[in-house]
Amino acid sequence: MKLLQQKTSAYKEPQRVEALGLYPFFRVIESDQDTVVTMHGKPVLMFGSNSYMGLTTHPKIKEAARQAIVKYGSGCAGSRFLNGTLDIHIQLEEELARFVRKEAALVFSTGFQVNIGVIPTIASRNDYILIDELDHASIIEACRLSFARVLKFRHNDMASLEKMLKQCAPGRIKLIVVDGVFSMDGDIADLPQIVRLAEQYEATIMVDDAHSIGVLGENGSGTASHFELTDKVDLIMGTFSKSLASIGGFIASDWDTINYIKHHSRSLIFSASITPASAATVLAALEIIREEPERIEKLWSLTRYTIDQFSILGFDIGKTVTPIIPIYIRDNMKTLILTRMLLDEGIFVNPIVPPAVKKNAALIRFSLMATHTPEQIDRALDAFHRIGKKLEII
């Protein structure tokens, strides 16, 4: 047996968990991604989706995709750098720049591709990248691709960030990269203090707004808008696979920075461009968000209610203030058992266990959509309460 096969054949953890009837990943959905999905022919309440605006089934979204396929076909057959730039891509970039109030934007094929394409491009040898310890995995991978020195500070700890900034040599790029909304804990980056430190130490700020777009700020335009600090944040990154009901990602900044990234980012130059249907659905989603501000208002009303109810029931939900609500179980096996028991009652949630989180920080990631109803939330809360008591979690 070759060494590779020795390594792969020794990996049995998924099979072990599956034999217990607790394997919670790659679960098959047989319907669209809405507040209710179909699994094994049965309806299941979805509380594990990132579709915060609930737009994936919106008629305007579907029609925009259909029209784009009729006009442009199914794909672009090349990268943006060569033959894969369509007029709809340019239109989308102009709309995104206006949306987040930056001079220019650049669209990538996924959000992951944005981070691994932008961060190593703008921070190179002898530069510094400073990241929050709870930043998304795509940021971590981007740091691995960069020749810059990477410094990690404690989560949302400004004293720790300042300590890292003091270690940086003068005259070098110091790129601070943070999630706007942290994807597991649901809390928000302390952007006002990050801006203060960046100005003091002449650092550059990049905010990953994957989970902020459609949620925070004016018309859901992100974390910088939420804090009224758009002019102080140098780069704003976002994805289309959450609130914007599609697939892809973007980076927005001043014109010169976008021009530099456009001609140096390998994940842009050597990846195929997003499909016409994907671009069209994002344009439609941006229009809906502008025209239906009540969606964001409803999302926040549901969020406040659900956070309050989980707290009243006695669950540990950490410091979340967003539609991402972590229910800390802090026991891997109980987390998997709770996930299974909830699914048996028709409630879909996501279990998060190490290495996705720290040891003893296993949690259930419960996320809300603007299209959830109070009745659906109450049904989920009731199931959490009963099963939580049975498992002695509360």
Please give the positions annotated as active site: 183, 211, 242
Q: What count of Cα atoms within 13 Å lies in the side-chain half-sphere of residue 326? A: 20
- For 183, the 3-state DSSP assignment is coil
- For 34, the 3-state DSSP assignment is coil
Task: Indicate the residue type of 2.
Answer: K
The residue whose two tokens read 């109810």 is 309
d(CA 337, CA 391): 9
Tell me which DSSP letter residue 186 carries: -
Which backbone phi and psi does 335 adopt, to 5 degrees? -65, -45
- Tokens, residue 22: 């607790």
d(CA 241, CA 327): 23
Nearest Cα to 88, choosing from 102, 110, 73, 103?
Answer: 73
Cα Rg for the chain, rounded, in angstroms? 21
d(CA 56, CA 34): 7
Q: What is the dihedral of CA 188, 375, 27, 238, to 10 degrees?
A: -30
Report residue 274 CA to chain centroid gap: 18
Tell me which DSSP letter residue 342 carries: H
d(CA 352, CA 271): 30
- For 100, the 3-state DSSP assignment is helix
Three-point CA angle 103, 105, 108, nearest 5°: 170
- For 108, the 3-state DSSP assignment is strand
Q: What count of Cα atoms within 13 Å lies in the side-chain half-sphere of residue 47? A: 31
Report residue 140 CA to chain centroid gap: 14
Provide DSSP, 23-92.
--SS----S-SSSEEEETTEEEEE-S---TT--TT-HHHHHHHHHHHHHH-S--SSBTTTT---HHHHHH
